[in-house]
Amino acid sequence: MSLRSRFRKDADELVKQYTASIPFDQRLYKQDIAGSIAHAKMLARQGIIPEKEAELIVMGLVSLREEIEQGTFSFDPELEDIHMNIEARLTEKIGDTAGKLHTARSRNDQVTLDLRLFTKEAITETIRRLKELQRAIMDVAEGNKSVVMPGYTHLQRAQPVLLAHHFLAYFEMLQRDISRFRDCLRRTDVLPLGSGALAGVPYPVDRHFLARELGFSRTSRNSIDAVSDRDFVIEYEAAASITMMHLSRLAEELTLWSSAEFGFIDVDEAYATSSSIMPQKKNPDVAELARGKTGRVYGHLLGMLAVMKALPLSYNRDLQEDKEGLFDTVDTLLSTLQVLAGMVKTLRVNSARTQQAAEEGYILATDVADYLVKKGLPFRQAHTVVAKLVSYAIDQGKSLHQIDLSQYKSYSPLFEEDVYSITLDSSIKARNIPGGTAPQQVEAQLAAARRIVEDTEED
């Protein structure tokens, strides 16, 4: 089968290799066959081809799908892409009737149909794996509800928080990611088939039937836009990039926390590697690779934006570049979500070390300032008093609890014996507002998280 009837010369061998997409678009075989089966049924239903011919085509396509899945199908690079490979093999199996399948259809609307079907499936699986990671995070939070750790700003110890509160911050990030993918799904869920090459088709096709058969909620409104639109690819890659950014932040903290300098967690041996030269090493390679793979996902997004930035309407061969980046983005994101879920689920928290880290330094300084505010001192003045007090404590090598009351009073007469009642526990309990780190609020966050992971529709 050849599409070069118009030409007197064969394509140069280098051109054949350069333009062939079958090495990667063969991955779309399921979507291509599903689209072709629906199209054949519609052609018969509309009286465009005889019913018996449609049945023969469908039987041939089902047989073809089995060949591919059993590994007996031979893909031919000479036939350029998945569409022509399937059509050529269908012709071998059922004869010239196969040629009727392409009635009222172009490769332009065929390929975007395949890609939309693929992306819809990818979004569904992405959301499922996001929820798996959310469950792993929620389990760690549930199992460590009373564990105290330092909260950080600028990677400096700032205020005490519950470790569960810290982990649930990632739960919230992932929930926003789920919302973005669901939003992307709404715009991906548009049937382009029936748009033809660009202008529509001169046959009485039933696009609504096709939409129902293929699980689309609506049909495209403009045929030119339908064949040239790749916004849904860009949106998936953009949502994936944001998700990978969140995963990279989590991976960074898991890497830091598993180091001897932090010692907050112990990574399960199944999710670590050793060194080729240093036998004592236990490296958090899974987390490090998650950080590294984030860059490749960003690259695919930027690459696709660059492809689209100056394309005139409607279809251009540049759009062949939409697939490899999307496929790799999907594979990278799904595998990263899966492996991080396993890593989080199996990590062990060193609560003694997180408590010790929270007790070190001057993490309660803000609470001391708030103490003065409650005694009537304006916050800015209270901030200055405590800043000087901390400087004194550092110079003396003392903690705030080791400073004499008389010394406290030298900085402000508002200090009384009850200043020593400021503790990690009192600091955490004081943040008892919605979204805060107080145990009551963290319990409410956990309850909300449980409802969310059980509700497949909630954003």
345 and 372 fall within a common domain: no
Which of 252, 268, 289, 254 lies closest to 342, judged by CA?
A: 268
376 and 351 fall within a common domain: no
CATH of the domain at 341: 1.20.200.10
The backbone region for 80, taken as left when phi is positive above 0, alpha when psi lies in -120 to 50, beta otherwise, is left
155 and 228 fall within a common domain: yes
Say if 209 falls within a structural domain: no
Say if 7 falls within a structural domain: no
Strands (E), 225-335: 265-266
Q: Which domain holds residue 71?
A: 13-103
The residues assigned a catalytic role are 154, 275
* Overall domain count for the chain: 3
Say if 214 falls within a structural domain: no
Which residue, chain included where needed, has tokens 């930027």? 302
323 and 196 fall within a common domain: yes
pTM, rounded to two decimals? 0.93
Quick check: 4 and 10 in contact, CB under 8 A?
A: yes
Say if 439 falls within a structural domain: yes
β pairing state of 190-191 and 156-162: unpaired
pLDDT in tens, the chain (459 residues): 566 566 667 776 777 777 778 888 999 999 999 999 999 999 999 999 999 999 999 999 999 999 999 999 999 998 989 999 999 999 999 999 999 999 999 999 999 999 999 999 999 999 999 999 999 999 999 999 999 999 999 999 999 999 999 999 999 999 999 999 999 999 999 999 999 999 999 999 999 999 999 999 999 999 999 999 999 999 999 999 999 999 999 999 999 999 999 999 999 999 988 888 888 888 999 999 999 999 999 999 999 999 999 999 999 999 999 999 999 999 999 999 999 999 999 999 999 999 999 999 899 999 999 999 999 999 999 999 999 999 999 999 999 999 999 999 999 999 999 999 999 999 999 999 999 999 999 999 999 999 999 885 544
Strands (E), 117-189: 148-153, 156-162
CATH of the domain at 41: 1.10.275.10
β pairing state of 218-219 and 190-191: parallel
190 and 129 fall within a common domain: yes
280 and 336 fall within a common domain: yes
Say what the pLDDT of residue 458 is: 47
Amino acid 422 reads: I
Say what the pLDDT of residue 78 is: 87
193 and 319 fall within a common domain: yes
Report the first-to-last Cα separation within the chain, whole angstroms.
49
Say what the pLDDT of residue 267 is: 95
271 and 347 fall within a common domain: yes
Last residue of a domain, one of 61, 82, 103: 103
318 and 183 fall within a common domain: yes
For residue 404, count other CB atoms closer than 10 A to its CB: 9
Last residue of a domain, one of 70, 103, 136: 103
Q: Summarize pLDDT for 113-142 with one digit per residue, the tens.
A: 999 999 999 999 999 999 999 999 999 999
Last residue of a domain, one of 295, 327, 357: 357
352 and 371 fall within a common domain: no
Q: Summarize pLDDT for 243-289 with one digit per residue, the tens.
A: 999 999 999 999 999 999 999 999 999 998 888 888 888 899 999 99
97 and 189 fall within a common domain: no
Say what the pLDDT of residue 80 is: 87
Say if 350 falls within a structural domain: yes
The backbone region for 169, taken as left when phi is positive above 0, alpha when psi lies in -120 to 50, beta otherwise, is alpha
Quick check: 113 and 188 in contact, CB under 8 A?
A: no
Which residue, chain included where needed, has tokens 């949502």? 239
Q: Summarize pLDDT for 31-64 with one digit per residue, the tens.
A: 999 999 999 999 999 999 999 999 999 999 999 9
In angstroms, rounded to a whole number, what is the distance separating the alpha carbons of residues 185 and 119? 8
Say what the pLDDT of residue 427 is: 97
SS3 assignment, position 10: coil
405 and 291 fall within a common domain: no
CATH of the domain at 396: 1.10.40.30
Say if 332 falls within a structural domain: yes
Say if 52 falls within a structural domain: yes
Q: Radius of gyration (Cα) for the chain, nearest Å? A: 30
Tokens of 40: 């054949």
